[in-house]
Chain A
Amino acid sequence: MAVAARKQSRAASNATEAEGQGELPELNKDQELEAYRLMLLIRRFEEKAGQMYGMGLIGGFCHLYIGQEAVVVGMQMAAKEGDQVITGYRDHGHMLACGMDARGVMAELTGRRGGYSKGKGGSMHMFSKEKHFYGGHGIVGAQVSLGTGLGFANWYREDGRVSLTYFGDGAANQGQVYESFNMAELWKLPVVYVIENNRYAMGTSVSRASAQTDFSKRGVSFNIPGEQVDGMDVRAVYAAGRRAIDFARSGQGPYILEMQTYRYRGHSMSDPAKYRSKDEVSRMREEHDPIEMVRRRLIERHKIGEDELKTLDGRVREIVNDAAEFATHDPEPDVSELWTDVLREA
């Protein structure tokens, strides 16, 4: 237990140190603004989704990404058009960051015909071929082998694409992760494994489930390089993302990024919340909020006025409200859809 506590605080202090050291590459004003806009869009979207769940418009599971926004936003800023993204069930943020339409995502959450999967997949299972988003997977760890397969296809076709494969600290203990690591390194597949270490898998803290809690070292026995990254700071994510993606794209093989992040909300919508203290949550929210950090920099360094940020807020809110409105009124799928898409015509 003492060890666990020490490790966690090391991670947290890393985060603050990194920020204090100021050795991070600065983002220019436009990049900061774009990061801010996207993170805010995800935050507002998720808050709305939570609210709609509370009203009974969304059923089943609904895993919110609030607190982790900087991870996917920083990575997408580092990625190129055509790079694939795949993740688990905590996927709303990834889809928005991939440029998927908020309406289509929200309508999938409400199970309506305008949803990305025509209402047939729900919160955990959404895909967009056009945006190179390969899901949306409900089985913990499954996306890691699948993401490795996306990387394999890129290697096979020699098309210069990189697969960004996201999974959680809990998922990192699944056996197929290591089977995948071995193949990815063996064949030098262009895959960046992004481990979103939000410190908990449901109610289990990292130290209660993991013998090696430094996830950047999980590839050591396969010779896969890894880094621990302050996943609350979009600049740090972006910088590490560039390194990892460049490495993979240049044919040197896979790369592991452990993003140290935090989920503010419960695992899914209901959560006994007894496995962590309120203090811990509020400390993260107050001291490490990824959006607030960018906001401060925008005001202080880039001299963006409150007014401009307000306008931006308003635009984000409009997108989210419009999506919610659409997702509320869009009809359910036609009943004939029950029987479609089971198999393709051969």
Chain B
Amino acid sequence: MATDILMPALSPTMEQGKLAKWLKKEGDRIKSGDVLAEIETDKATMEVEAVDEGVLAKILVGDGTENVAVNTPIGVIAAEGEDVSARSGQPNGAEAKGVAPNVEPASETGSGTGSGGGQAKGEVPAGGGAPATVPAIPKAPSAAGSPPQPETTAAPEIPEGTEMVTMTVREALRDAMAEEMRRDKDVFVMGEEVAEYQGAYKVTQGLLQEFGPKRVIDTPITEHGFTGLGVGAALAGLKPIVEFMTWNFAMQAIDQIINSAAKTLYMSGGQMGAPIVFRGPNGAAARVAAQHSHDYAAWYSNVPGLKVVMPYTASDAKGLLKAAIRDPNPIIFLENEILYGQSMPVPKLDDFVLPIGKARIHRTGKDVTIVSFGIGMTYALKAAEELAKEGIEAEVIDLRTIRPMDVETVIRSVQKTNRCVAVEEGFPQSGVTAEIGMRIMEEAFDYLDAPVARITGKDVPMPYAANLEKLALPNVGEVVQAAKAVLYR
């Protein structure tokens, strides 16, 4: 029986790739484990290995073909002597258009640049994406859907008439580091795979080439050690940027972050502090399960002596990272893998630096205030769109910095709307949204027409199964419902 060889996906987001070359010819005998062909995307290559035995009866997609959709049959393996002449390169419409489930990459290995970055965490494309040989593809987690077009209201920091260029959050972060490294010789980057590999998620792409191995340093897998080393270097006056491959691994190093970086200025009576930036992706990616999905916003925001920044837009990522590198204090800079691939406008300015500790009103409205930050903004903005369809005008505030928290901006908004929903992906107990609720109660209780509501990640470790993961994360519907609840609708 002839079996199709399907175009495989390098990552769950990959939708198409190049068939670089066949390593077997038509007529070659194949046994499992044989490398049949090489495929490529812009970031990664992969060998297609045979799982079935037989003869490579037909090559359906030739060497060098670009944009081959995932799951397209690229060749046929047949039993010896079997006739496969009827097979053509376009088996049937549904198959040829096959797409991989549109889950954001789960990769410490660079697949974070998959082509689907823009639709991170979107629904699985409807319909017959999968070939007949692949029953029951699990539904990908649907959290925030496609990124809302940031219809940023007046961004006070960007002068009117400034030209905007579209770039990914990943590029904005890279540019911020490169600009600051050009500006200040004391700034250097270290972390696992940041140099030769160009970053596990490609955020440090090109930095080694520009700044050399003394300033872009690959470390061994020794988080506690290199974090302490970084803090020591900072105490001595250098300005390290320490990248954690993900923040989950910074738990190995949290003692040095808190006991050494955060407290030394105070303990030394102001003699020495640590001008250091700790950065990397934080929170849930997709299907990476409990140990790789933790959101640390609440944890670090609990600690005096730290500043905690968690941007959502590309332009905030750039302006705030530049500010963080210049700041004389230890900064926790929480990025998000799913946002890395999203493209947004960034002002084309020589030196775009944003103030740490200032929230931004992302969308104005008068009926209800929705406060969030980081990836939580994707739920907030989508919910605001939904609410708008029902005539409810939500004001959406992006905190941008968790500590110090710009409570003033939130309070001013609540004084206007009298209602508030706070949204985060982290756990509910002692979460950032709990803090927001408390601060509003302390400072604007009399303005409230309803108790502050919060939508958070569920109070369970992140499950792996696609259906459970989807349930564990917040969703737009929950935010919409909460907004209506505080409006008594």
Chain B 79-100 near chain A by CB (<8 Å), digits 1 or 0: 0000000000000000000001
A37–B154 Cα distance when bound, in Å, is 67
Given contacts A43-B33, A271-B109, A328-B135, contact A174 B221 (CB under 8 A): yes
Number of interface residues of B (CB under 8 A): 73
Instruction: Return the chain B residue nearest A120 by Cβ.
Output: B463
Which residues of B have CB within 8 Å of A44? Answer: 32
Q: Separation in Å of the A159 CB from the closest CB of chain B? A: 29
A139 touches B252 (CB 8 A): yes
CB 8 Å contact bits of B204-229 with A (1 = contact, 0 = none): 00000000000000111111110000
Contacting pair A119 B286 (CB below 8 A): no
Bitwise interface map of A from 130 to 153 toward B, beta carbon under 8 Å scored 1, else 0? 000000011111000000000000
- Asked if A92 is an interface residue, CB under 8 A from chain B, the answer is no
**Interchain CB contact under 8 A, A270 and B197:** no
Instruction: Find residues 89-143 in chain B having any chain A CB closer than 8 Å to their own CB.
Output: 100-101, 103, 105-111, 130, 133-138, 140
Query: Which one, A22-30, A55-63, A180-188, is touching chain B?
Result: A55-63
Contact of A270 among B110, B137, B467 (CB under 8 A): B110
Q: Mark A35-73, 1 if CB is under 8 A from B, else 0.
A: 000000001100110110111110111000010000000
- Given contacts A55-B8, A202-B193, A267-B109, whether A173 and B465 have CB atoms under 8 Å apart is no
Q: Shortest Cβ distance from B328 into chain A, in angstroms?
A: 29
Q: Is B248 interfacial (CB-CB < 8 Å)? A: yes
Q: How far is the CA of A266 from the CA of B251 in the complex (A)?
A: 26
The answer, yes or no, to whether A170 is at the interface (CB within 8 Å) is: yes
Known: A139-B248, A209-B221. A59 touches B108 (CB 8 A): no
In the bound complex, do residue A120 and residue B464 qualify as a contact, i.e. CB atoms below 8 Å apart?
yes
* Contact present for A56 and B33 (CB under 8 Å): no
Instruction: Say how far B37's CB is from chain A's closest CB, in angstroms.
Output: 12
Chain A residues near B110 (CB-CB < 8 A):
270-272
> Which of B41-49, B167-175, B180-188, B404-412 has 4 or more CB atoms under 8 Å from chain A?
B41-49
Known A203-B193, A335-B467, A342-B461; contact A47-B49, beta-carbon cutoff 8 A: yes
Is A210 in contact with chain B by the CB < 8 A criterion?
Answer: yes
Give CA–CA (A27, B264) in the complex, Å.
61
A338–B472 Cα distance when bound, in Å, is 7
Q: Which of A5-13, A75-83, A121-129, A238-246 contacts B (4 or more CB under 8 A)?
A: A121-129
Chain B residues within an 8 Å CB radius of A156? none
Cα(A6)–Cα(B467), bound, Å: 50
Residue of A nearest to B12 (CB): A59
Cα distance A61–B286 when bound, in Å? 9
Find out whether the CB atom of A59 lies under 8 angstroms from the CB atom of B103: yes
Measured CB to CB, the closest approach of chain B to A27, in angstroms, equals: 23
Residues on B with C-beta less than 8 A from A111 are 138, 287, 464-466, 468
Q: Are A270 and B109 in contact (CB under 8 A)?
A: yes
Q: Is the CB of B6 within 8 A of A55?
A: yes
**The one of A112, A170, A272 that contacts B45, using a Cβ cutoff of 8 Å:** A272
Residues of A within 8 A of B71 (CB): 55-56
Q: How many Å from the CB of B12 to the closest CB on chain A?
A: 5
Type the 1/0 row for A307-346, where 1 means its CB is closer than 8 Å to any CB of B. 0000000000000000000001100110101110010000
B49 x A55 contact (CB < 8 A): no
Interchain CB contact under 8 A, A202 and B138? no
Closest A residue to B225 by beta carbon equals A175
Determine if B33 and A47 form an interchain contact, defined as CB atoms under 8 angstroms apart.
yes
* B327 contacts partner chain A, Cβ-Cβ < 8 Å: no
Q: By the criterion CB–CB under 8 Å, are B51 and A270 in contact?
A: no
Instruction: Tell yes or no: B393 within 8 A of A by CB.
Output: no
Inside 8 A of B225's CB, which chain A residues have their CB?
175
Contact A59 B466 (CB under 8 A): yes
Q: Give A337's nearest chain B residue, CB to CB.
A: B468
Q: Check: A234 CB closer than 8 A to any chain B CB.
A: no
Chain A residues within 8 Å of B109, by CB = 202-203, 266-272
Instruction: With A210-B220, A273-B44, A333-B468 as known contacts, state yes or no: A60 contacts B289, CB within 8 Å.
Output: yes
A125-B249 in contact given A203-B196, A267-B109 (Cβ < 8 Å): no
> Which residue in A56, A117, A272, A339 is a CB contact (below 8 Å) of B100?
A56
Nearest Cβ distance between residue A109 and chain B, in whole angstroms? 9
| Given A60-B288, A138-B289, A202-B108, CB of A209 within 8 Å of CB of B220 | yes
- Whether A51 and B8, one on each chain, are in contact in the complex, defined by CB atoms closer than 8 angstroms, is yes
Task: Check: A208 CB closer than 8 A to any chain B CB.
Answer: yes
A114 to chain B, nearest CB (A): 11
Residues in A whose Cβ lies below 8 Å from that of B466: 59, 111, 332
Contacts A111-B138, A270-B107 given; does A48 touch B51 at CB 8 Å? yes
Question: In the complex, A47 Cα to B111 Cα: how many Å?
Answer: 20
CA distance A271 to B197 in the complex (A): 10
- Residues of B within 8 Å of A266, CB to CB, are 44, 46, 109
Residues of A within 8 Å of B287, CB to CB, are 59-60, 111, 122
Contact B33 A271 (CB under 8 A): no
Q: Which residues of A sit under 8 angstroms from B467, Cβ to Cβ?
A: 332-333, 335
Q: How far is the CA of A305 from the CA of B248 in the complex (A)?
A: 51
Given contacts A50-B49, A270-B10, A270-B110, contact A55 B134 (CB under 8 A): yes
- Given contacts A138-B292, A174-B252, A335-B467, list 20 more A-B pairs with CB under 8 A: A55-B134, A59-B106, A59-B138, A60-B106, A110-B138, A111-B464, A120-B464, A122-B288, A122-B289, A173-B222, A204-B196, A204-B220, A209-B220, A266-B46, A267-B108, A268-B109, A269-B10, A329-B135, A329-B136, A338-B471
Residues of B within 8 A of A (CB): 6, 8-12, 14, 32-33, 43-47, 49, 51, 70-71, 100-101, 103, 105-111, 130, 133-138, 140, 192-193, 196-197, 200, 218-225, 248-249, 251-252, 285-292, 458-461, 463-468, 471-472
Q: Could you show 27 A-B contacts with beta carbons less than 8 Å apart?
A: A51-B49, A55-B134, A59-B286, A59-B287, A111-B287, A119-B464, A122-B287, A122-B288, A124-B292, A125-B290, A139-B251, A174-B223, A175-B225, A176-B252, A202-B109, A202-B192, A210-B220, A268-B107, A269-B109, A270-B14, A271-B46, A272-B45, A329-B136, A332-B467, A335-B467, A338-B472, A339-B460
